Amino acid sequence: MKLRFNWGTGIVIAMLAFMIFILSFVYKSIAMDEYQHELVSEDYYKDELHYQEEIDKMNNSSSLSKNIELVNSKEGILVTFPEDIDQESIVGSIYFQRLSNEKLDFTEQIKLTDHHQLIPVEKLVSGKWIIKIDWESEQREYLFKETWFY
């Protein structure tokens, strides 16, 4: 039997080659461990239910005369809280999230010294961070979110 190569055979061969090419990328992205599949949040369905609470807290933050400020320094990131709020009444946590590697994420409890808190450089890696400060003062809840480059 003689195999004849015509345009129909060429199209079939091209389609098979393309499918093998695409399937090899699908296999690499699913089966190989070197490609990590990290979610921003493990419990994103549960987090979605609390989204309105976050909006309310962010609205409370925007109603302040002065919001939280972040400043890079040699020692780390300096977090400054509003001066018009009594620092003894401020409680909450500061969450640092690194999208490129979830192992670098960490949480700090708010412990203010003269309305400031320093996040030490030993805990930080240069690059893009998502900083989320969830805090409360005098029965009112606030939320500060910002993308920050250190």
- Alpha carbon distance 78, 83 (integer Å): 15
pTM over 0.85? The answer is no
Q: Which residues, listed in sequence order, are joined to residue 120 by a DSSP beta bridge?
A: 76
Look at residue 41 and tell me whether its pLDDT is greater than 70: no
- Alpha carbon distance 59, 40 (integer Å): 23
Largest CA distance in the chain: 92
Give the containing element (helix H, strand E) for 79: strand 76-80
Structural domains present in the chain: 44-149 (2.60.40.10)
- Alpha carbon distance 36, 101 (integer Å): 9
Tens digits of per-residue pLDDT, 78-104? 999 988 888 888 999 999 998 888 888
Residue 1 pLDDT level (bands cut at 50, 70, 90)? low
More confident residue, 12 or 36: 12
- Alpha carbon distance 5, 18 (integer Å): 19
| pLDDT at 39 (0 to 100) | 59
| pLDDT at 30 (0 to 100) | 79
More confident residue, 36 or 20: 20
| pLDDT at 35 (0 to 100) | 64
